[in-house]
Chains A and B, each alone.
Chain A
Amino acid sequence: MSVIVTHPIQNIIAEKQSEAKPIALEVRNVVKTFLTDTGPINAVDDVSFSVRQGEFVALVGPSGSGKTTMLSILAALLTPTSGQVLIDGQDLARMNERERVRLRREKIGFTFQSNNLIPFLNALENVELMLRLNNRLDKAGRIRSAELLARLGLGERLYNLPSQMSGGQQQRVAIARALIHSPTVVLADEPTASLDTERAFQVVQTFAALIHENDRAGIMVTHDLRMCQYVDRVLQMRDGKLVRIYETRAEILALAQGGEH
């Protein structure tokens, strides 16, 4: 199986490059409050950060720290109670449902932990689906989809259904689907949770390479700190708050070597 290998040093280069690039995603003082039987709970509490084009960021934290809620807000699936989320300068809070659906379709790429692919579409069709959704599927789009899958080592699996592929292969198809329509932001929700260690490293490594190469802003929610070695920055959340940002390569590698949460 061929995978794209990117040495961590390349991430450092990417980080340096991305510093000069425009901000793709900006989060300003976002609060998300849920009402529960025991009273209101801030699942996300005054969180601010930004991600530039070509930057791959990990969102980590223990279970219940608010990282999935944060990802849902970034994906325009949840509306923050207060604060702003700007993608390409557009404020999500000011959008109606129809505009949010359009934003998800055009400017966001998504990979999920599981149930990622549409089971009755083959690998190529799953990737092309994003172009269909955006009414941009043409001959060139079909060729690009096939080429992207081939780059991800799935050239022989174009016409395989998800049920005929391993978890790792499915995740790579999902990565291709998340990138094929050139979104501004690519979001990944625990992309390695259902994979064994070797496959998990390969998938994240590939993901990071494509984020850098295509100049997208990538955000990955993960509980597996070992995966952080491939990202440019790590945002650590606890109890809904952003408690620490790991920015230097040394800090990130030290965190990654610490293993799982």
Chain B
Amino acid sequence: MSLAFYLAFKEIWRNKGRFLLVSLVIALITLLVLFIAALGEGLGTNNREYISKLDGQLVVFLEKSDYIISASRLRQSTLRAVRRVEGVEDAGPISTSSTAILLPPGSKNEVLKVSLLGVEAGRPGFPQLTAGRTFLSATAREVIVDQRVLDRTDIQIGDTITVRSTQGVEDEFYDLKVVGTTSGQAYFFQPSIFVTPSVWEKIRPKSDAELGNTVAAINIIVVRLKDSTQIEQMKEKLLSSVKNIEVADIQTTINNIPGYSAQQGTVQTQGGFTLLIGILVIGGFFQIQVLQKVPQIGVLKAIGASNPVVGAAAVIQISLVTAFGVAIGGLLTYLFSLGFPPTVPLFFNGAASALALVALLLIGPLGGLVSVIYAVRIEPLKALRLS
């Protein structure tokens, strides 16, 4: 065992209470950071999940819609024009709206709000099925539902659901047969249900002025390319071949979902500030500790401990305390997460959580950096001068 590790470990072991307290503070910070990260991921996922899983590389919007899905309205002729562009393997329309499924009497809530998406079967934008089948026809009153709908209701394949939709100023009710399920398809903070474009146009909430419409309005067109590496070239090609459109890749589309960037920015700022608070708390603790240990460090140096040994002992000590705190915090986060209902948007993404954990493991050494430098600079003469 190296001398530095020996000194670091012995001090922690003989002052377990004090160091445990610091570890618990780090654990609480870990809990907070991981929950903020999970919340950010959960909110982001609920907002973008469907878009991020689109089986295409480019998204076509109405010109000057600023890549905002709800602001974009495209014609069927545009869809046909896009499909004709060389290099386009396929293109699928997506129509978006919001509606509510009526829940059986006795349920906790009267309705379950969902995103109503109109998509063509087998085209880009159509979700991958986890069970059941696709639509029998373009006008079939059939629906494919996201797993989250199943998680929150007793609906099963073969059931008929009732959708409530405001038509003008009246509420209308439409029955749809559940023929398939998909998973991980949340959009705009709601689980999604999928219908054909013509059914979508029929049942979507409409204003008085829209009541006579029979042709589905398309919000965006998802384009699957023959060569997925030619994104920039195909973007230019689409813009030059089809009039009145603008084209974005998937990430740009996600970033322009209303509120998405602002929300993610807010959550990330919260996480950043929590880490900063962690750095200050840990830095403060270890600085006070080093100040209390000046004579002891002076004695260590006077009897021949080198600066690298003293510095390494301090770094190892901070790292051990931080690692222990992060481990407790990770465990607490896991235990707490088991108790949260599916409606709470917490999503423990492996990469995001790992990044948060690495950041948490770094806050100890970062926070303690000043105290380590201070410890290394203590003169061995302190052992004599203080005596």
Contact between B303 and A130 (Cβ–Cβ < 8 Å)? yes
What's the minimum C-beta distance from B338 to chain A, rounded to whole angstroms?
38
Interface residues of B in 293-332 (CB under 8 A from A): 295-296, 298-306
Chain A residues closer than 8 Å to B300, beta-carbon distance: 118
- Considering the complex, give the chain A residue whose CB is closest to the CB of B3: A132
* Inter-chain contacts of B237 with A (CB < 8 A): none
Q: Give the distance in Å from the alpha carbon of A143 to the alpha carbon of B383 in the complex.
A: 28
Tell which of B6-14, B45-53, B164-172 binds the partner: B6-14
In the complex, chain B residues whose CB is within 8 Å of the CB of A189:
384, 387
B3, B10, B381, B387: the one contacting A120 at CB < 8 Å is B10
Q: Is B380 in the interface zone, CB < 8 Å from A?
A: yes
Contact B383 A120 (CB under 8 A): no
Within 8 A of A (CB), among B3-49: 3, 6-7, 10-11, 13-15
One of A45-53, A69-77, A145-153, A233-241 contacting the partner: A69-77
Cα of A78 to Cα of B383 in the assembled complex, Å:
13
| CA gap between A251 and B368 in the complex, in Å | 56
Provide the residues of chain A in CB contact with B302, threshold 8 Å. 75, 77, 104, 110, 112
Q: Are B10 and A121 in contact (CB under 8 A)?
A: yes
Given the known inter-chain contacts A115-B387, A118-B296, A120-B14, please indicate yes or no for A77 contacting B381, CB distance below 8 A: yes
Measured between beta carbons, the chain A residues less than 8 angstroms from B3 are: 132-133
Asked if A132 and B6 make an inter-chain contact with CB atoms under 8 angstroms apart, the answer reads yes
Q: A113-B387, A120-B11, A132-B6 given as contacts; is B381 within 8 A of A105 (CB)?
A: no
Contact of A112 with B6 at beta-carbon distance under 8 Å, contacts A105-B304, A119-B296, A133-B303 already known: no
Contact A112 B299 (CB under 8 A): yes
CB of A7 within 8 Å of the partner chain: no
Q: Give the docked Cα–Cα distance between A134 and B6 (Å).
A: 14
Report the minimum CB–CB distance from B300 to chain A (whole Å).
7
Report yes or no: B384 in contact with A101, Cβ–Cβ below 8 A.
no
- A81 → chain B, closest Cβ, in Å? 16
B387→A190 contact, CB < 8 A: yes
Which residue in chain B gives the minimum CB-CB distance to A109?
Answer: B303
Instruction: Enumerate chain B residues within 8 angstroms of A108, measured Cβ to Cβ.
Output: 304
A161, closest chain B residue (CB): B14
Write the chain A residue with the least CB distance to B382.
Answer: A115
The residue that B305 contacts in the complex, of A98, A113, A133, with Cβ under 8 A, is A133
A125 within 8 A of B: yes
Asked if A116 and B11 sit within 8 Å, CB to CB, the answer is no
When C-beta atoms are compared, the residue in chain A nearest to B1 turns out to be A132
Min C-beta distance of A237 to chain B, whole Å: 16
Q: Are the CB atoms of A104 and B387 closer together than 8 Å?
A: no
Q: Which residues of A contact B305 (CB under 8 A)?
A: 101, 105, 133
Which single residue of chain B is at the shortest CB-CB distance from A107? B304
Contact flags A162-188 to B (C-beta < 8 A → 1, else 0): 000000000000000100000000000
Question: Is the Cβ of B304 less than 8 Å from the Cβ of A112?
Answer: no
Instruction: Determine whether the beta carbon of B383 is less than 8 Å from that of A112.
Output: yes
B209 is an interface residue with CB less than 8 A from chain A = no
Would you call B351 an interface residue if the criterion is a C-beta within 8 Å of the partner chain's C-beta atoms? no
Taken together as a complex, chains A and B put the C-alpha atoms of A132 and B10 apart, in Å, by: 14
Interface: A244 (CB within 8 A): no
Residues of B close to A78: CB separation below 8 A: 381
B344 cross-chain contacts in A, Cβ below 8 A: none
Measured between beta carbons, the chain A residues less than 8 angstroms from B11 are: 120
Query: A65 contacts the other chain (Cβ, under 8 Å)?
Result: no
Q: Which residue of B lies closest to A101 (CB)?
A: B306
- Knowing A112-B299, A115-B295, A132-B6 are in contact, say whether A101-B304 is a contact too (CB < 8 A): yes
A94: chain B residues at CB < 8 Å are none
* Chain B nearest Cβ from A7, distance in angstroms: 30
Q: List 25 A-B contacts (CB under 8 A).
A: A77-B384, A101-B304, A104-B303, A105-B303, A108-B304, A110-B299, A110-B302, A112-B302, A114-B387, A115-B296, A115-B299, A115-B383, A115-B386, A116-B299, A118-B7, A119-B296, A120-B14, A120-B15, A125-B10, A129-B303, A133-B304, A161-B14, A189-B387, A190-B387, A193-B387
User: What 4 additional pairs, Cβ within 8 angstroms, besides A120-B13, A133-B304?
Assistant: A101-B304, A115-B383, A115-B387, A132-B6
Q: Which residues in B have some Cβ–Cβ distance to A below 8 Å?
A: 3, 6-7, 10-11, 13-15, 295-296, 298-306, 379-381, 383-384, 386-387
Closest 4 CB pairs of A and B: A105-B304, A113-B387, A115-B295, A120-B14
